[in-house]
Amino acid sequence: MPDLAAQLRITEIFFSLQGETSRTGLPTVFIRLTGCPLRCAYCDTTYAFTGGKSIAISEILEQVAQYAPRYVTVTGGEPLAQKNCLVLLKELCDAGYRVSLETSGALDIGGVDERVMRVVDIKTPGSKEADKNRWENLDLLKSTDEIKFVICSEEDYRWAVGILEEHRLSDRCEVLFSPSQGELDARMLAEWILRDRLPVRFQIQLHKILWNNEAGH
């Protein structure tokens, strides 16, 4: 039996529209875990590095249920940095939610419940954390998972295209290209993707357009 009294350090639990991935626009409960071993140059959730509150998994499930959601996203920080995240993901799936996990790609995704849609970042050189990429994760991807590149520059774009082709990523799962806000013009990235006929999904973070990346959205 899972230990629902086990705790996770949580920065926030909130209800909003999914701002990224193929589920963009869908009403979703977000569970943001505290802590991250990476320090990406473009990070927009630095407030989740520290602090938070220790909450039992049973209480997290109760808070989620209050929103009666169909979709739940576990994010961070880096959620997999807390071992009890795996228990939480399983319990959310068992409760009937459609669950996604947003992870930096620096930690092993192999223990994640197979019902979870894993959204795995591949860190570009512009993130300053490309040396943290755990390439072994690529062989664990399912067709229902998604890979995300945050593109900071034309150099990042060329690097990401090279990784896309070398590992045949679009044959594995959906691939997402996002412009780093304030660093790369979104229209420019869109035009590069069209010019090069890339088999990727272009995305702009919806929550930043609607709420200017305010906490709780």
State the pLDDT at residue 209. Answer: 82
Q: What is the DSSP string of 48-63?
A: GSS--EEEEHHHHHHH
The residue written with tokens 């909450």 in the block is: 55
pTM of the entire predicted model: 0.94
Residue at 216 is within a domain: no
Average pLDDT, the chain: 95
Residue at 194 is within a domain: yes
State the pLDDT at residue 208. Answer: 77
Q: Given a cut of 90, is residue 10 above it in pLDDT? A: yes
Confidence class for position 115, pLDDT limits 50, 70, 90: very high
For 49, residues 6+ apart whose C-beta sits below 8 A from its C-beta are 34, 35, 36, 77
Distance CA 171, CA 155 (A): 24
The stretch 110-122 carries a mean pLDDT of 98
Residue at 88 is within a domain: yes
Higher pLDDT among residues 181 and 12, named by residue: 12
Residue closest to 34 by CA, chosen among 22, 46, 25, 24 = 46
Extract the tokens encoding 157. Answer: 């774009």
Residue at 138 is within a domain: yes
Distance CA 30, CA 88 (A): 13
State the pLDDT at residue 211. Answer: 78
Domain of 109, CATH number, reads 3.20.20.70
Residue at 65 is within a domain: yes
What is the number of domains present in the chain?
1
Distance CA 6, CA 85 (A): 10
Q: φ and ψ at 28, to 5 degrees?
A: -145, 140
Q: Tell me which residue range forms the domain holding 135.
A: 7-211
Residue at 1 is within a domain: no
Confidence class for position 131, pLDDT limits 50, 70, 90: very high
Residue at 110 is within a domain: yes
The stretch 10-34 carries a mean pLDDT of 96
Residue at 172 is within a domain: yes
**Computed over its alpha carbons, how large is the radius of gyration of the chain?**
17
Q: What does the pLDDT look like over 26-85, one tens digit per residue?
A: 999 999 999 999 999 999 899 999 999 999 999 999 999 999 999 999 999 999 999 999
